Structure 1
Amino acid sequence: MKKIYLICIVLVFACNKSIKAQAPEAVKTTFKAKYPGENDPDWHKDDQGYYEAHFKIDGVKYRADFNADGSWVETETSIDEDDLPEAIKKVIKEKFDDEEITEVEKVDSATKGLFYDVEFKRKGKNKDVEFKANGKIIN
């Protein structure tokens, strides 16, 4: 029984892209300043080295990424395809109409500003396309 339990634990960690982590004080300070009403995020460290804060605001789930020095990288939340700006829906219909959308996220980025990340199903690895609200593709 102990062997099965140990295997389960190993599989959970091996399949998870991020690991629970304790964020550095600089990261926590930046988080508190950016999201003053949120006091108890779940912290993870992803495979890119970012500290991720998972939290909710008014029932909506968010993920905010920070560098170890405390600098904010981006915050994202999943949205419904119907909630995309009309200009993006138009471009998707024109250029990606035959493709299946698997995920849509609204992203606020320190370097790119506000954009929308639309993930299309592909064999192997799915394709992410980033859009500005006006429909311009930025990646």
Structure 2
Amino acid sequence: MKNIFFVALAILCAVATGCAQKKVPAAVDSVFKTKFTNATNVSWDKENSLEYEAEFTMKGVKYSANFSNTGKWLETEQGIPYEELPELVKQSFTNSHKDDKLKTIAKIETSEGKMYYEIEVKKLLSSEEFFYDANGKELQDDDTDNDAED
């Protein structure tokens, strides 16, 4: 009897999770499917009242993409290895954060045509993110924010 209960509970959780991920506005879903036709393992989160984020895989690489609630693509973040960072970014990061332990690295492309890099480092009980342009200039948060309003 316990096994039936746990199986039913697992099915209920799977259905609830699937339904929660389908609450993306049709405009957002349509633009996502057009822009990322080869995406697999897609999961959605609502970043805030104006923005949705899809996490997915393409050709074995992890991505995330953000969209306004009206379907405007805002940015795409692609996980990359340290070796793929531009040399100037590596130098700048090493000069100012040489003792930090790397956690993740991403290349970010925005709807405004900007390209920058995010380096996340491990801290004692948390992590910290640093952003750089391709020339190795460290950017402030306001240099990297996207506005979800149309």
Q: Please give the TM-score of this superposition, normalised by the length of structure 1.
A: 0.75
Distance 2:119 2:109 in 1: 14
Q: 2:144 matched to which residue of 1?
A: none
Q: Does 1:20 align with 2:25?
A: no
Q: 1:38 matched to which residue of 2?
A: 38
Question: Contact 1:105/1:116 (CA < 8 Å) preserved in 2?
Answer: yes
Cα deviation for residue 108 of structure 1 reads 1.0
Greater share of helix residues, 1 or 2? 2
3-state DSSP of counterpart to 1:46: strand
Name the aligned partner's letter for residue 113 of structure 1.
K
**Displaced runs of 4 or more, over 6 A:** none
Structure 1 stretches lacking a partner, 5+ long: 14-18
Question: Contact 1:41/1:53 (CA < 8 Å) preserved in 2?
Answer: no
- Larger displacement relative to structure 2 (70-79 or 120-129): 120-129
Name the aligned partner's letter for residue 42 of structure 2.
D
1:124-135 equivalences under 5 Å are 124-135=125-136
Cα deviation for residue 45 of structure 1 reads 1.8
Question: Contact 2:39/2:58 (CA < 8 Å) preserved in 1?
Answer: no
Q: 2:85 matched to which residue of 1?
A: 84
Higher Cα Rg, which structure: 2
1:69-95, Cα deviation, whole Å (9 max, x unpaired): 111121111111121110011011211
Structure 2 stretches lacking a partner, 5+ long: 141-150
Distance 1:24 1:38 in 2: 20
Distance 2:45 2:123 in 1: 27
Report how many aligned residue pairs link the two structures: 130
Compute the RMSD of aligned alpha carbons: 3.0
Cα deviation for residue 22 of structure 1 reads 3.1
Q: Does 1:62 align with 2:63?
A: yes
